[in-house]
Structure 1
Amino acid sequence: MSVKKRAVIISLLVSLMLMLAKFLAYFITGSNAILTDAAESIVNIIASSFAFYSIYLSTQPKDENHPYGHGKVEFFSAFVEGVLILIAGVIIILKSSYNLIYPSKVSELLVGTLIIGVTGLINMIVGLYLLNVGKNEHSVTLQADGRHLLTDTYTSFGIVIGLILIQLTNIIWLDSLISIIVGFYIIYTGYKLTRKSVGGLMDESDLTLVEEVVDILQKNRHIPWIDVHNLRTQQYGPEFHIDCHVTLPYYFDLNKVHKEISQIDELVNSGFRKSELFIHADPCLPKCCNYCKMIDCPVRFEPFKAEIVWTSELVIKNQKHFANDLF
């Protein structure tokens, strides 16, 4: 069993046990705040179940119908989880608003407080574990699941503080007020998760990944690599696809061009992550001479002035960079 599958199964089993514990706490106390936490646990179970299927699908090899693999399903999984969180937040606010006007009796809050406190601590441990595995395995699904559990942790600890205040002050309507506040926080978390997943589905560029690639190229650049531009990154599950244009001396033959491009491919894959590169080779132009460091160039038109430092802002532009425009 893969590391990702093991992690999501652990998440699913833990969520199931914690949900039962939270509903037990609700039936003991009758607290709306505890019901809020229990309802979110249902979302955890649904999300973990869908995450398991998406991870299974994302690990399937490429085929004729999916030449880029099945990794995009992880963004869809994160989107579904975000929508479920949003729905849970809205339901929580509606029910708690009703009970704020028509408060219900609560009891045995000390027992409920202890149960919610313990479940929150367990969620924090599992959430951090999922985040760690998700980052190591480059899994959007596991990271989304981990952040969701950490959100559940924060809400649980907030509810614990609220329950303690209720016991100290005996102000019953605080129970519904706390539940409403937690509901809005849950909606905010669901929005952020949904926004990120939609960005992934729409192939939104990840500037952090671009910066990592540019940093590797800049620190290890070869003299024939005159310029890099139109650099883009896409993520498909655990795999990354990178394409860019590289300007090389126009008099290089095909074998020499292939060698230089292969070196870029090896460099990025050795210092970055598992990536598939599509590199378009551009011939140099006379205007490139003043930032080209090919000392023995037989066709130089202008003297070398200065090197253009590659940055993420420069390389994402779909045009060659001429020194006259930058110096």
Structure 2
Amino acid sequence: MNKAKRHWIIVSFVVSIILLIIKFYSFHITGSKAILTDALESIVNVVASGFAFYSIYLSAQPRDQNHPYGHGKIEFFSAGIEGVLIILAGIFIIYQSIIALVYPVELQMLPFGMVLVGASGLANGVLGKLLAQKGKEYHSLTLEADGKHLMTDAISSFVLILGVGVIYLTGYYILDSVFSMIFSMYIIYNGYILVRRSVAGLMDERNPASMEWAVKVLNQNRKNNWIDIHNMRVQQYGGDKHVDLHLTLPYYFELNQVHDEVENVEDVLEENMPGNVEVFVHADPCLPEKCCHYCQVKNCAVRKYPKSKKIIWNASNMSKNQKHYHELSDAL
């Protein structure tokens, strides 16, 4: 998988360099500040792809004494760097557009420049779509972020062509700066989205998709002996995940039985969740006066209270640091 990630990020890096040259040549022959915005974003593409390659290489390194959870979080850092570069490019574009408003320049060879931008936009769109798909397939935020960035670049390129076309048909060259500023705001917004996701990952913000996946897996493989699961947390480390949870088991289980049930929970999550998954399970004994009402153990010899309800496991109640005896669920 890591070899495949490196392959796609290298493809992205090489293509970004080629398109960078094409776009700057287009700006050179036309003098359009709007086309310059596209060219400047291509610099970001090249830098981001280079850093993404390093982050994928580093995230693939095994855990060590200094990094017990591995190196996967570098992918969040990579996405954040890419987002910051996109924002800086957008700010620079606004600066260039203001200068062009004060000192307007007549544009040249716009039709040929539009063809070059259109071809590069099409290439970015196809590559971006592939990278986004591969990012989801390999659970790589770096690939997914790079792909979405390229698709954003492709969209802005095609919108840019429409804007330059209007300039060419009307002869209002001042519109070049106006369109540039509009595009730059769109670029800055997309940079902010990437930075937001990066900070969320570095701060271990809850990932709803990963949590829902874990809940679904546990519900599909639920056993009667698993009386309760609570205080569950799913942390993302690049393409890897770390799951912590508390498992309530019958208090009369011997240590070997507890060990087997804990391993069963670990195996269920590790085998059915995407990516590399590490699971830590803390075992709790059941409390008859609180757990008997929803305990699903059949023919329990020590049951003190009749079974009256079944707790429906979901992301909300499984993440709470308390047993589910307080839950009001559908009666059996």
2:222, 2:329 → 1: CA distance?
A: 19
State whether structure 2 residue 124 is matched by structure 1 residue 126: no
1:239 shift after superposition: 1.3
Tell me which moved more, 185-194 or 61-70.
Answer: 61-70
Query: Is residue 42 of structure 1 aligned with residue 82 of structure 2?
Result: no
> 298, 307, 329: which is aligned to 1:295?
298
* Cα distance in 1, alignment partners of residues 149 and 44 from structure 2: 9
Q: 1:280 aligns with which of 275, 279, 282?
A: 282
CA contact (8 A) 2:20 2:42 kept: yes
Task: Show CA shifts across 1:131-159 (max 9, x none).
Answer: 11111111111111111111111110110
How many angstroms does 1:325 deviate by? 4.9
The one-letter amino acid paired with 1:183 is S
Partner of 1:102: 103
Identity of aligned residues (%): 50
Q: In the alignment, is the contact (CA less than 8 A) between 1:75 and 1:197 conserved in 2?
A: yes
CA distance in 2, matches of 1:80, 1:324: 44
Q: Is the 8 A contact 1:120 1:152 kept in 2?
A: yes
| 1:67-123 Cα deviation digits (max 9, x unpaired) | 111111111111111110110011111211221233211111100110000100000
2:293 partner SS: helix
Aligned to 1:15: 16
**2:164 equivalent to 1:163:** yes
Q: How many residues align?
A: 327
Once the two structures are TM-superposed, the CA of residue 176 in structure 1 deviates from its matched residue by 0.9
> How does 1:56-71 map onto structure 2 within 5 Å?
56-71=57-72
Partner letter of residue 302 of structure 2?
V
Whether the 8 Å CA contact 2:234–2:244 is kept in 1: the answer is yes
In the alignment, the residues of structure 2 paired with residue 283 and residue 169 of structure 1 have an alpha-carbon distance, to the nearest angstrom, of 78
Give the counterpart of 1:314 among 313, 317, 328: 317
| Cα deviations by residue, 1:239-260 (Å, 9 ceiling, x for unpaired) | 1111111111111111111111
Who is 2:191 aligned against? 190
Are positions 1:93 and 2:94 aligned together? yes
SS at match of 1:2: helix
Q: 1:180 to 1:324 in 2, by over 3 A?
A: closer
Does the 8 A contact of 2:227 with 2:249 survive in 1? yes
**Cα distance in 2, alignment partners of residues 323 and 39 from structure 1:** 57
TM-score, with length taken from structure 2: 0.96
Counterpart residue number, 2:206: 205
Quote the Cα distance in structure 2 between the aligned partners of 1:56 and 1:268: 26
CA deviation after TM superposition for structure 1 residue 35, in Å? 0.4
Whole-angstrom distance in 2 between the partners of 1:103 and 1:283: 77
Moved over 3 A (4+): 323-327
CA distance in structure 2 between the partners assigned to 1:269 and 1:64 by the alignment = 23
Calculate the aligned-residue CA RMSD, in Å: 1.3
**Contact preservation (8 Å) 1:308, 1:323:** no
Q: TM-score if structure 1 supplies the norm length?
A: 0.97
Give the Å deviation of 1:323.
4.7
How far off is 1:324 after superposition?
Answer: 5.9
Residue of structure 2 equivalent to 1:234: 235
Q: SS at the partner of 2:70?
A: coil
Equivalent pair of 1:54/1:73 in contact (CA under 8 Å): yes
**Structure 2 unaligned spans of 5+:** none
Q: Give, as a single letter, the amino acid of the residue that structure 2 aligns with 1:151.
A: T
Return the alpha-carbon distance in structure 2 between the equivalents of residues 97 and 76 of structure 1.
32
Q: Partner of 1:154 in structure 2? A: 155
| Aligned AA (1:294) | V
Does the 8 Å contact 2:59/2:74 carry over to 1? yes
What SS does the aligned partner of 2:218 have?
A: helix
Return the alpha-carbon distance in structure 2 between the equivalents of residues 252 and 323 of structure 1. 24
